[in-house]
Amino acid sequence: MKGSTPTVYLASPVFREIADNPRVSVKFKFMINKVWSNLNTVARVVTAESRFPSLAEMKKAIEENEADFIGCHIGHRVPEEIVSIASIKGVATSNVGWNHIHLHPGVLVTNTPGVLAGTTADYTISLILSNLRNIVGLNNYLWEGKWGPDERWDLDRHITKNTENLTYGILGLGEIGREVVKRVAPWGIHIAYHDIFQSLEMEEKYPNLTYYEDVEQLFKISDIVSLHIPLDESTHHFVGERLLRLMRPRALLVNTARGGIIDTAALIRLLKTKEISIHLAFDVFEEEPIPPATLQAFREILSERPDLRFIFTPHTATGDADTRARMSATMLSNLNAMVHSTSVRDIKELNLIPPL
């Protein structure tokens, strides 16, 4: 049996070890080590031996140590059988998304908003520009030795499209969506957005930003559609056959949010049958890592339709060293706050899912 000191179970040693990464700035190394020290002062910290313990290993460790709190990230699934363990009082994730955690009555859940919005927005824009200008394809073209002596520069060779005169559609004007707007508004392009709430403040600040109450209209008029909504029961497969069919020919669909927002099966089917003709730039997938069969299906589409451009990256939009360090530090800080708390007032500053 444990004593009166609360117990925290960390699903990975990475939350402290990231401070040792040479790419992390001294400021954030210090931040992690400080909050780590504070947490170990007020709680007994039990850390998983591996970075990705199995569900059985997590459950055994939590039950044997009668853990009160869990620290995790999106790579750790925390299902009902974990959060329903009697000793569990709260779960802190280092991500802003929480769809890997089962929401259980009486168990607090915290995430890390405000930490990764700018980094994710930068990555989103990088994917857009890389796809529009076919940078990945042209890079591969050169390195594969296809730029031969008989191929000289000419006016109509390797033509792509820049952002001028395009309509950029944003689905979800939360933290990340707003950061995207801040970055692309100076380009002077028309930015359309759909959200459950209209933001008159953002529209006043950015005159080229327009609200579309009808999400179907957003998909119809946009040359680029990027997704910035959370994944939950209401948004699962939100972008399905109906919205996909509305997209303009050669429009670009960008997803740095969560893979389950898109109905992958419908997307593959419509591309295979040539009922839609859209480019893709995805950093997230419905199942991660992306299953070989799914990847092969996209390969086959590209082989039959070389006019389309697909850029896929392995869920790394937040992969800036300092951003990842801040994510860890914020999660550890949230655990500190929950360990210290004796009433709701003590955790009112935390971002709770759902809010109290």
Catalytic residues: 258, 288, 315
CA-to-CA distance for 325 and 331, rounded, in angstroms?
A: 10
CA-to-CA distance for 348 and 335, rounded, in angstroms?
A: 14
The β-bridge partners of 70 are: 9, 91
Determine how many CB atoms are found less than 10 A away from the CB of residue 212.
20
Residue 104 one-letter amino acid: H
Encoded tokens for 162: 């820049």
Question: What is the distance, to the nearest Å, from the Cα of residue 153 to the centroid of all Cα atoms in its chain?
Answer: 39
Encoded tokens for 166: 């395009």
Contact 318, 120 (CB under 8 A): yes
DSSP tag of 248: P
CA-to-CA distance for 325 and 265, rounded, in angstroms?
A: 35
Residue written as tokens 């007020």? 42
C-alpha gyration radius of the chain: 23
Question: What is the distance, to the nearest Å, from the Cα of residue 264 to the centroid of all Cα atoms in its chain?
Answer: 17
Phi, psi at residue 117, to the nearest 5°?
-60, -50
Contact 115, 327 (CB under 8 A): yes
Half-sphere exposure of 11 (CA within 13 A, CB side): 25
Q: At what angle do helices 135-143 and 117-132 cross, to 10 degrees?
A: 60
CA-to-CA distance for 177 and 128, rounded, in angstroms?
A: 14
Question: What is the distance, to the nearest Å, from the Cα of residue 121 to the centroid of all Cα atoms in its chain?
Answer: 10
